[in-house]
Chains A and B, each alone.
Chain A
Amino acid sequence: MSGNSLLKRVDWVVVLLYILLVTIGWVNIYSSTFSEESTSIFDFSYSYGKQLFFIGVSFVVIIVIMSLEAGFYERFSSLFYLVAILLLIGLYPFGKTIAGATSWYGMYFFNLQPSEFTKVATALALAKYLSDIQTDIKKIKHQLYAFLVILIPAVLIVPQPDPGSALIFFALIFVLFREGLSLLYLGIGLLLVLLFVTTLKFGTIWVGIGIGLLLVIFFLLKRSSFKVPVFPLVALVIGAIAFSLSVNFVFNSVFEQRHRDRFGLWLRLEKDPEKLEQIQKSIGYNTYQSEKAIESGGFFGKGFLEGTRTKGDFVPEQHTDYIFSTVGEEWGFLGTATVIILFTLLFLRLIALAERQKNAFSRMYGYGVISILLIHYFINIGMVIGVLPTVGIPLPFISYGGSGMLGFTILLFIFVRLDANRLNEWT
């Protein structure tokens, strides 16, 4: 295979979107961590210098990934998965603790976070398992196996503790839906989330009344010829009410106080506006500051390096998880909307690519990539702009972090490599 033809078959739309996002990310990391004393953008004692280094490393990695044969990834996916699991286990005896979480291996001058790479390995392993000719996703047993592939790394990551990263793996369930898992599971999952949230906000009684009203509407609107499946309906209603009743128990007894605070803040459970503001400024400090920073940006933003709240370090973790607030303050609505649009285009493009794969493995891996990137994007921006509770996960390609940068790059470009190979599956 000549390099020339590979270059022609690479999807340049994805590559361009990737470069744009990485550039936007680095500019904002520079702005968030910039200081008057620093002289060179290559200064490794500053975050933006390190990030630039990892962007460079990423480009090398991209070249390596592209020059390997597409079949390599499928063939060795089980091995990658095994190594990743071992690395996660190895953290328990050898890991380095930063900010309370034992998630890193201390390397010579940077810290490696294996969970970032486990995401790639898990996506590969899941695709591999599902694309196996003997796997039938309609079978409960195979569903359980597939679920186990996802569950093992998540279970290993939770006690680090890093529940945010663990959450990411469950996004891979989307791949199962694409491959034939009944949407009923998704429906039930969403219903449970809805019940959980509405019960917290309005209480079991109102949820009961709401379900009653829905039933009334259902019976009024249904066609007279429609035969009501009585048993499942009754089971559903009873189950929903029982779940609703259990929510308060879970919330008060199973959750820890910080979780309760986050939900309390998100759902505005505190009625007294003064107390609410107090909570906003203490527990919700990060979100409060990031919202204020974004608000202060207005339509055009304050300009590059002109964000006063960014400079004053008002938003904690601004170069990592809260990087989007820097975009909001310095580039305004123009900047934030641009980032959202770029991500949306990237996802839509990736879906199109995944759908055109003839090889099942490539398609499934593609959906794995989309699921992982999407959940990061959704939770991170949702948190920064205050529509979701606080969960500490980075924004792909934009947030500061060497392992993250490399992990997301590998994740994306393995798929770009697979896609570039779609016309010569026989090689």
Chain B
Amino acid sequence: MKKFLLSSIIVIIGITFIGRLSYLQLFNSSSENVLEDTAIKAIYDYPERGYIYDRNGELMVANQPAYDVMVIPREVKPLDTLEFCGLLGIDKDRFIKKMKKARVYSPRLPSVLVAQLSKEDYARLQEKMRKYEGFYIQKRSLRYYDTPSSASVLGFISEVNERDLRKNENYVAGELTGRTGIEKEYEEILRGRKGIQYIQKDRFNRDIGPYKNGNYDILPEQGKEIHISIDKKLQEYGETLMQGKRGGIVAIEPGSGEILALISGPTYDPSLLVGRKRSKNYTALYYDSIAKPTWNRALSAQPSPGSPFKALNALVGLQEGVIKPSTKFKCYNGFYVGNTKRGCHCGGGTRDMTSGIYKSCNAYFAGTFRKIFEKYTTSDEGMDVWEKHIKSFGLGNYLGYDLPDGRKGLIPDKAYFDRAYGDNRWSSSYFISMAIGQGEVATTPIQLANMTATIANRGYYYTPHVIKKIGNKEITDQKYTVPKYTTIDKEHFEPVIQGMADVYNKGTAKWLRIKDIEIAGKTGTVENFTVIDSVKTQLTDHSVFVAFAPVDNPKIALAVYIEHGYYGARYAGHIASLLIEKYLKGEITRKDLEQRMLERTLEHEYAKPYSGKPFAINEYEW
């Protein structure tokens, strides 16, 4: 009995020890990451963020130095808080709050105490920093913008937040990351890779040399420069024209899908979102819920396309063989849906296709639209065919461009109408408005621009993109270099393009002609409604214009959408003509158009719904 007592004690001790050790080493062990190890310190070496150039090699974005005051809470020794706060230029409460936050984030990893000191503050602080243990100054590079324009394309960078840190372990608090635009889309390329040096420390927190002879160290890798397809001059000029107007403009080079300009109005100077004033400025922009300067209308606004959509319906009609260019429809200053008359502004009379386009005759396209559906025995079949053709132009879904923003637009399908009216309980007359680009259909300006580029190419498009070169290499991504064909045969485009050219020659845009440049275009005037005090109220029409030039060898295709700009040839048409001339000629001969666009704003129009008083819309005077 006694013999076994000692053996049992020994075994029990052994089991107890192994139990305790498995608690320590198996369940409590937090699979220690090198960065979490008290005995290892990481020193970061930040590479410069890549520069951004425009399509002509003009610098758009570079860097400027900035200095963050960092703190490692564990290493802070008691200090004269008041004096230190005085040096940093912050008050004591803020200091205490920041220190607490830093401690919560991590006692051993650095946190930002004061971000982005100016050069002067840095010079003043630098000598005295030694006195304060646990604090140091981290140099970073901030963005420097060599243009007041392009905020809608470039996007901005800002400090990573707690969510980013949880999501991506490559970031450390205080680092910067792209938030929108190119800065976000090409973050990995622009950022490069930060260098990390691991230092072994002893228990007194002294460095005792590199950890594992530096085998785990990472060398910094420079961020790559990128060239984007934006034409800086065109972009700047477009933004100047947009002053006082809201809307979106997208210009594309049809032969490559490269985006030449992408303008959203109102916009802001990207330099506003750099430096210590960043957060104040951003708040002001973000909370402007009426003008919404941070909302990218060129990518995300989705009004009905209006009359430019007629060109597509003409193409579908030709492809389906239900009309020929010579097919005629009679316009009674409008057309009838059942017993209801819908208006038309073309002047009436018998129209063929070309004049239907350049006069923008509603009756002609309502007729065409009906014929497309009449060809098929059921509305379902007709709808499928029509939807297939329209969507082949990149409408009704994300285009796949390389900017992290945007909307799908809407091209309804049979399921959409089944939901709205019930299965088989609808026909083309239910949505005849779509014949003229009104009603259910919705498109974003970039989709309209891409549609125009597709027409300019006579039947295919390249996915629009802003990236042109990464480092020194031209992009080879098949997504952007392989053309996407529409379901419309090439020969059907010529008559439609003829009609669009006539828009300039003798149609709705004849006042906007530019000497020596043959332009094909299409005006659009989009009715729109809002709700004011629970009453559906019509507002002044949106002005829409699509165009490409030169007709025979298109170099630029664009879509202009101006909120409440009234009819298409007014604001949108003016701006489109000016941008085409600027891009193709480099200078403006139509000074009258330019003068008008620079002088006029639409602020009075935008103020109307908020005035609280009754107001007139679509005023003839301008």
Contact = CB atoms under 8 A, between A and B. Distances in A.
Contact of B22 (A177, A289, A333, A355): A333
B38 A309 contact: yes
B20 A296 contact: no
Contact of A308 (B17, B21, B30, B200): B200
Interface string A361-389: 00000000010001001100110011100
B18 interface: yes
- Interface bracket on B: 20 to 34
B7 A348 contact: yes
Contact of A333 (B25, B39, B200): B25
A208 interface: no
Interface stretch (A132-140, A258-266, A339-347, A401-409): A339-347
B2 A178 contact: yes
Given A340-B14, A341-B14, A347-B10, A295 B2 contact: no
B24 A314 contact: no
Nearest to B28: A295
Interface in B67-123: none
B22 A387 contact: no
B11 A385 contact: no
A382 to B, nearest CB: 8
Contacts, number: 101
Interface stretch (B204-212, B244-252, B270-278, B395-403): B204-212
Contacts of A378: 13
B212 A306 contact: yes
A382 B18 CA distance: 11
A363 B26 CA distance: 40
A294 interface: yes
Interface string B1-45: 011001100110110111011101110111110000111100000
A36 B209 contact: yes
Given A296-B29, A297-B25, A332-B25, A381 B201 contact: no
Given A178-B2, A313-B202, A337-B21, A344 B14 contact: yes
Contacts of A314: 38-39, 202-203
B200 A312 contact: yes
A359 B342 CA distance: 123
Contacts of A386: 20
Contacts of A177: 2
A295, A312, A314, A340 interface centre (most CB from chain B within 10 Å):
A312
Contacts of A333: 21-22, 25-26
Nearest to A293: B39
Interface in A326-344: 328, 332-333, 336-337, 340-341, 343-344
Contacts of B25: 294-295, 297-299, 328, 332-333, 336
A298 B7 contact: no
Given A297-B29, A309-B38, A381 B17 contact: yes
Nearest to A355: B3
Contacts of A289: 203
Contacts of B39: 308-309, 311-312, 314
A241 interface: no
Interface in B209-227: 209, 211-212
6 contacts: A177-B2, A309-B37, A314-B202, A341-B14, A351-B10, A374-B10
Interface of A: 36, 174, 177-178, 183, 289, 291-292, 294-299, 306, 308-309, 311-314, 328, 332-333, 336-337, 340-341, 343-344, 347-348, 351, 355, 370, 374, 377-378, 381-382, 385-387
Pairs of residues from A and B, 3 with the lowest C-beta to C-beta distance, nearest first: A308-B39, A312-B39, A344-B14
